[in-house]
Chains A and B, each alone.
Chain A
Amino acid sequence: MSHPRDLKILVVDDFSTMRRIVRGLLKEMGCDTVEEAEDGVHALRLLQASKFDFVVSDINMPNMNGFDLLKSIKADASLKHLPVLMVTAEARKEDILLAAQSGAAGYIVKPFTKAVLEDKILKILQKMAVAA
């Protein structure tokens, strides 16, 4: 199983504050290779330009929201293997179901704790290792 420190992670959120918080938490988990995107369009551009191992994405964003980003990733043969963890303020059940049905690897509701983020990432990596 991979460890977060071995991963190259893309953090997608339109709020720079939240990107910095997630980046800081990932750093505390040992992951130093983190890049940031401010919306789905920017994220797709980065994903197509270089190789990433994991995506942490917000949902409510301008230009391209997290659902559309998720669908684009899952529709792209070269990206569909990427685990996408949704980290969002959207607490509606229909959003959670839509994320799951669209192929999200996990769903975290803001506000969250470091323990929750770490737990979700480790569980997703564990699941991927079992499936491989």
Chain B
Amino acid sequence: MSTVLPARPATDPLSLPLPAAAGTASHHPEVLTQIGLITRQVHDALHQLGVMPKLKEAASGLPDARSRLTFIADKCGDTANRVLNSVEQAKAEQAVAAKAAASLRGVIAASNAAGALALLAEIESARQRTDAHLTDIMMAQDFHDLTGQVVAKVVSLALIVEDGLVGLLRQAAVEEPARKADTGILNGPVVNPAGRSDIVANQGEVDDLLASLGF
């Protein structure tokens, strides 16, 4: 279902043409007058609607949301590092076992014990499979990097919203200009790639894109 927005009246300040550059606003006193008018209207509307308490609540709740997200990111990092510590130690043990098995193979081969050699081969095969599982566990820890980046973006977005709300609250209270929020870099891991043509979905598409350009 599509939503049809009502047409703005001709006097709607938002429909007025913008100056060519922000720096020229001081040469257009009517623009400043309009901005002042809109600010006053927003201020009055917020008070009439009783929005200010809710805005205050939202603004004060954002730092808590940020600290919760930061806590999640930290816990993910700690867990990933603990798993990687164990994987590295297990892989070192695997290397010791492989070396010992190779030595034992030489000792047993000298006494020609075919059954023992078959068992050794089975142990070596299991060791290799375990090592492959350890590699998979290690690779699975990349979730920390990817989720961490997404959480960091949400935290920075929350900071922008918080800044905006605090600015609005200040403006409504004492009519001082709101601080300009730093948007920063908002890219990073793609959370929802469906329907987007500006991104690649997998490594194959990266390779195809680069190949099409001769790289």
Residue A89, interface by CB 8 Å: yes
A18 CA to B193 CA, complexed, in Å: 23
Are B209 and A113 in contact, CB atoms less than 8 angstroms apart? Answer: no
Are A114 and B139 in contact, CB atoms less than 8 angstroms apart? Answer: yes
Mark interface residues in A89-126 (1 if CB within 8 Å of B CB, else 0).
Answer: 11111111100100000011111111010000000000
Tell me the smallest distance from the CB of B201 to a CB of chain A, in Å: 7
Interface size of B in residues (CB-CB distance below 8 Å): 34
Interface size of A in residues (CB-CB distance below 8 Å): 30
Tell me which of B77, B135, B201, B203 contacts A112 (CB under 8 A): B203
Tell me the smallest distance from the CB of B81 to a CB of chain A, in Å: 6
Are B190 and A91 in contact, CB atoms less than 8 angstroms apart? Answer: yes
Secondary structure of the B contact surface, majority rule? helix
Tell me the smallest distance from the CB of B215 to a CB of chain A, in Å: 5
Are B77 and A60 in contact, CB atoms less than 8 angstroms apart? Answer: no
Are B145 and A110 in contact, CB atoms less than 8 angstroms apart? Answer: yes
Question: Inside 8 A of B149's CB, which chain A residues have their CB?
Answer: 15, 60, 89
A15 CA to B78 CA, complexed, in Å: 12
Are A94 and B139 in contact, CB atoms less than 8 angstroms apart? Answer: no
Question: Inside 8 A of A110's CB, which chain B residues have their CB?
Answer: 142, 145-146, 189
Tell me the smallest distance from the CB of B9 to a CB of chain A, in Å: 39
Are B200 and A21 in contact, CB atoms less than 8 angstroms apart? Answer: no
Known A-B contacts A92-B199, A100-B215; the reply to A21 vs B142 at CB < 8 A is yes
- What are the 3 closest A-B residue pairs judged by CB atoms, nearest first? A89-B189, A18-B145, A15-B145
> B residues bordering A, Cβ < 8 Å?
77, 80-81, 84, 87-88, 91, 135, 138-139, 141-142, 144-146, 148-149, 185, 187-190, 193, 198-203, 206, 209-210, 213, 215
> A residues bordering B, Cβ < 8 Å?
13, 15-18, 20-21, 24-25, 28, 60, 89-97, 100, 107-114, 116
